Amino acid sequence: MAAAAAGGERARPDPAEQRAELGPLLATALRPGESWYLVESRWFKQWKKYVGFDSWDMFGSGDPNLFPGPVDNAGLFPGPIDNSGLFGDPESQSLKEHLIDELDYVLVPTEAWNKLVAWYGCIDGQQPIVRKVVEYGLFVKHYKVEVYLLELKLCESSDPSNVISCHFSKADTVATIEKEMRKLFNIPAEKETRLWNRYMSNTYEQLSKLDSTVQDSGLYQGQVVLIEVKNEDGTWPGHHCLAKGSGFVCNSYNCRDTASLSQPGLCGLSNLGNTCFMNSALQCLSNTPPLTDYFLEDKYEAEINQNNPLGMRGEIAEAYADLIKQMWSGRQSHVAPRMFKTQVGRFAPQFSGYQQQDSQELLAFLLDGLHEDLNRVKKKPYLELKDANGRPDSEVAKEAWENHRLRNDSIIVDIFHGLFKSTLVCPKCSKVSVTFDPFCYLTLPLPLRRDRLMEVTLVYADPQRRPVQYRVVVPMMGAISDLCESLSKLSGVPAENMVVTDVYNHRFHKIFQMDEGLNHIMPKDDIFVYEVCKPSEDGSEYVTLSIYFREKTMRQSSNTSGTVLFGQPLLISVPKHRLTVDHLYSVVLEQISRYVKLPLAEEYSPCPDRGTCNGSNGVVEGDIEEMEHQDSGEEGKEKLTEADPCHSEGCMQVESARDLQPCKKQHFTFSLVNSSGTSEINSIVEGKILKLNAFAAVAIDWDSETRRLLYDEQEAQAFEKHGSMLQPQKKKAVVALRDCIELFTTMETLGEHDPWYCPNCKKHQQATKKFDLWSLPRILVVHLKRFSYSRYWRDKLDTVVEFPIRGLNMSEFVCDPRAGSYVYDLIAVSNHYGAMGVGHYTAYAKNKMNDKWYYFDDSSVSVASEDQIVTKAAYVLFYQRRNSEEHSAPSAPQEECDGMDTN
C-alpha cells in the first residue's frame, strides 16, 4: 500500500505506542500564545477507536461477536487527516459557522498535531487549521483557543470604497492592525497615520491606544477600520468625513442624529456579531419598569459598591446605566452597545467572543453582576446555617430571608428575589430536611415528549427497487431495535434482516448494534437502513461487507490523493464459502444493476480469457491489482441453492446469472480499505476464498471514463417517498404554563449519581425531593428549559407553552399560608428561533410609557399585538406583580422586617 504521507507509514508506531505518546499531549493545559490545531471529530474518533484510546474502545473487553466491525482493528485505520467536514467553502477552506467544540472538532496542541501528520499525513490540498490560545477576563484569567477570528474591513480615508477584509485575533493589538494596513495600502513607515473605527453609517471613533487589544478596543465582527495619512503640510485630510459638529465623535453609544425624537424606550440595539442573545435580554430588562426607573432617576449612584470582592468595581452597573439612559433618551432609534459588551466580556469571559450564546445565561450573569455592584452591604457577616429541626415553616422561612438580606441587599434583591422551600425525605430513616433558599428566576422543566419522529431511508436487498424514505415513530429513549420494529411494520421487511447505519460523505460513519440507544442519532444524521441476508438455521455462514464507490484519478501522487469516494455505500451479504473475487464482482454488479447500465454486447458475452482480468486504466501507479478469476461452476451454484438464508420476500440471493456468464471486461477493481474508505489496508489478492471479517470495507474502484459512461448519477440518487412522509404531521401538543409549574413542584427521587447525605444515617441516600414556592418577587422571571444536553444529544424542545398575557395567578402555588395575592401581568418575553447553538433571539416587550407592545429584533423596533406573543419561540418570560406595594417579606409582619416588595 502506498503511504498516506511521505515516510508516514515507515514512521508510524503501533497503536499502543501512539496512545501512550499522544495521551499526555492531549491533556496539556492551555498557555497564552501557543498554537493549537483543529481536527474534525469524526476523523479523531476513528483514530481513537483504532488505537483503543478509551477503555470502551479496547477490543479485548466485551464480546467481540457483539462488535459490528472486525475483531482486529485493521478496518478501523483512520487514513490521512480529513478536515473537509469543517469547511463551509472547500475552495477557500473557511470554517463553517457555529461549530461546537468536541461535537464538530477536537483541539490538539502543536506537538500532537505534528505527530499525527507524520503518522497519517493530510488529505491532499488541505491546509492545517491552526489557532492561537488567547487570554480573557480581568480578575480571573481564562484561556481558550480562539477558533473564530474576527473579520475587520480595512480601507483608506482617501478611498473608503476600496475595502479589504482581514482576520485578526482578539488578542492582537491596534498596532498589529496598523502594521497590516500600512502593508496592504503601501503606506511608507515615515508617514504619520491614525486609525478610526466606524460602527454606524456616519460615526467614527479614533483608535488612539496602539497597545490596546482588539477585544479591549471593542471592535466587532465586520467592523470598518479606516486609516488616515497625515498631509505634507501637517494637517489631517479627513475633517470633511470624520468630523461631527466641532470635534471628533468618541462617544461609544453615539449613534446618529435624528431630526425627530422617538418614543423613549423604543430603541433598537445593533447586532455586533452574534449578539442578538444579549440584545434580547437587554430589551427585557430595559422594559422592567422598577429597574429602569431606578437607573433613570440616578438612584444607583449612591449605592455603587466598588469594594465588593464579588462585584465588578461598579463598572457593570455604570455601563448598564449608561446604556439604559441612551435607550430611554428618546433621541436615537437604535444604539450600538459596544462598551457594554466589552465590559461584560472583561468580567465574564464566556461572553467575550462573537459566538452565539444563551440569553438566559447572560441574564443570570447580569442580574448577579448588578446585584453585587449595587449591594448595600459593605461587609458581609458570617452566618451559620441552622437546620429546621421541626420548627414551624414560617419561622424557618423568616430566618432564612433575614439571613439572606444581611448579606444581600440591593435593588435586584428588592425586585427579583423570592424564596423556595426544599423538602428532602430519607427513604431509610424518614428524616425530613426542610430548607429555604432564595432564587432570582424560576427555571421550569417542559413535559418531555415520549415519542420521536425519525426520517430514515430503507435500502432494499432487491437491486431493482429504489430506496424508500420513511418517517417512523420511535420511543424517545428507545434502542435501534425499536427503530427496526417500527420500520418493519411499515415496510414488511423483517426487523432481524435490517442493519442501521449513519452515512456521511459516501461512507459508513457508524454501523449500529441493535441494543444501542437512539439518543446516539442526532436529527441532522443521514440514517440508512439496509435489508441484508442473515445466517440461516442450516448453518450457512454469511458475511456482510461494506461496499464503497471510489473513482481513481490520474494524479501521480499518494494513493489517497488519487481516489475520491462517490455515490451511496452498500451492504452486501455473501456466503463465506463463495467469497471469491470473481463471485464478489458478479454479486456487486447485480446489486448496482439498476443504475450501472452495461452495453448488451458486453453484458452477456462469455469471457474468452479465464486468466487475469483487471480494469486498471486510470488506476494510480502502484495500486494495480491482479485478479485471477476462479470458475465457480455448477457445484457452487448447487450448494448455494440448498441454503436459503433469507426470510425476506424479494431479498437478493447472491446467486447471479453473471456467475455462469461473466462479462469479458471488469469495469471496476477491488481494494480492502479502512472503514472511512480513505486509506487502503491491502490489495485483494486472488485466492480460493477471501478471508474477510464482518462489515469489512471493500472499495470498488472505477476509472473516470468508465464512471462517466456507465454510472447513472441521477438514478443512483433516486428514491421514493413512503406515504408516512406525505401524511401531515400531528399538531404538536400544547402545554400550559401551569403544567410546567406543577412539574417543577412534583416530588422526585434523586438519581443514584446525585444522592443526599442523610445526617441521621450518616451516609448518602437516594432521598425524595420536593420544591415548593414560599414567596414570589415583584418581577417574576420564568425560564422555560427548552435546551437539553448530554454526551451524545443536544436538543431544543419546541413545544408551544401557553402562558397568560395578563392575570397569571400564582397564589395557588405559594405554600406560605399567610401569603397575600400573587397575580402577575406579562411585561416582556425573550424569544429563541432555530436550533440549539444557532438560531436567532428577539424580544417582545411592553413600553411603560404607553402600555403598548413592541417587537425588538436587534436594531429594528416595530409595533406588536398581544396575539403574536405566545409562540413556540418563547424562552424567558418577565411578569410584573399587581399591587406589589401591598405585600411584605415572607411570613413577616410589615413592622418587623424589610419587605421584599417595598420598592
Instruction: Report how far residue 872's alpha carbon sits from residue 797's, in angstroms, rounded to the nearest whole number.
Output: 9
Q: Tell me the average pLDDT of the chain.
A: 76
Residues counted in the chain: 903
C-alpha cell belonging to residue 169: 485575533
Over range 393-413, report the average pLDDT: 88
Catalytic residues: 276, 840
pLDDT for position 38 = 93
pLDDT for position 74 = 52
Q: Which of the four pLDDT bands, split at 50, 70 and 90, describes residue 254?
A: very low
Listed range (229-233, 342-346, 463-467, 692-696) with the worst mean pLDDT: 342-346
Over range 685-710, report the average pLDDT: 78
Q: Which residue type, as a one-letter code, is found at position 406?
A: L
Over range 806-835, report the average pLDDT: 88
Check pLDDT > 70 for residue 376. yes
pLDDT for position 684 = 67
pLDDT for position 175 = 92
Listed range (534-538, 586-590, 719-723) with the worst mean pLDDT: 534-538
pLDDT for position 89 = 79
Count the neighbouring beta carbons within 10 Å of the beta carbon of residue 736: 13
Listed range (22-26, 604-608, 852-856) with the worst mean pLDDT: 604-608
Q: Which of the four pLDDT bands, split at 50, 70 and 90, describes residue 574?
A: confident
Distances (CA, A) of 220 to 214, 217, 352, 397: 8, 9, 11, 47
C-alpha cell belonging to residue 859: 436594531
pLDDT digit string, tens, across residues 579-625: 788 888 888 888 888 888 876 544 443 343 333 333 333 333 333 33
Q: Which of the four pLDDT bands, split at 50, 70 and 90, describes residue 201?
A: low
Q: Which of the four pLDDT bands, split at 50, 70 and 90, describes residue 828?
A: very high
pLDDT for position 836 = 57
pLDDT for position 791 = 41
Count the neighbouring beta carbons within 10 Å of the beta carbon of residue 812: 9
High-pLDDT (> 70) share of the chain, %: 75
Check pLDDT > 70 for residue 657. no
pLDDT for position 70 = 32
C-alpha cell belonging to residue 769: 425531593
Instruction: Report how far residue 898's alpha carbon sits from residue 471's, in angstroms, rounded to the nearest whole number.
Output: 59
Q: Which residue type, as a one-letter code, is found at position 734?
A: V
pLDDT for position 597 = 80
Instruction: Report how far residue 740's alpha carbon sits from residue 744's, in angstroms, rounded to the nearest whole number.
Output: 6
Instruction: Report how far residue 774's alpha carbon sits from residue 437's, in angstroms, rounded to the nearest whole number.
Output: 9
pLDDT for position 880 = 94
pLDDT for position 247 = 31
Q: Would the pTM of this model clear 0.75, i.e. be above it?
A: no
Listed range (117-131, 513-527, 654-668, 757-771) with the worst mean pLDDT: 654-668
Sequence-ordered strand ranges (E) for 612-688: 669-673, 680-683
Distances (CA, A) of 742 to 240, 406, 461, 812: 64, 32, 50, 11
Distances (CA, A) of 745 to 305, 784, 786, 814: 36, 14, 18, 10
pLDDT for position 348 = 63
Q: Is 764 left (phi over 0), alpha (psi -120 to 50) or beta?
A: beta
Choose between 726 and 797: higher pLDDT: 726
pLDDT digit string, tens, across residues 276-323: 888 999 999 999 999 999 999 888 888 888 877 776 787 888 889 999
Helix count and strand count (H, E) for the chain:
22, 44
Instruction: Report how far residue 707's alpha carbon sits from residue 667's, in angstroms, rounded to the nearest whole number.
Output: 9
Check pLDDT > 70 for residue 73. no
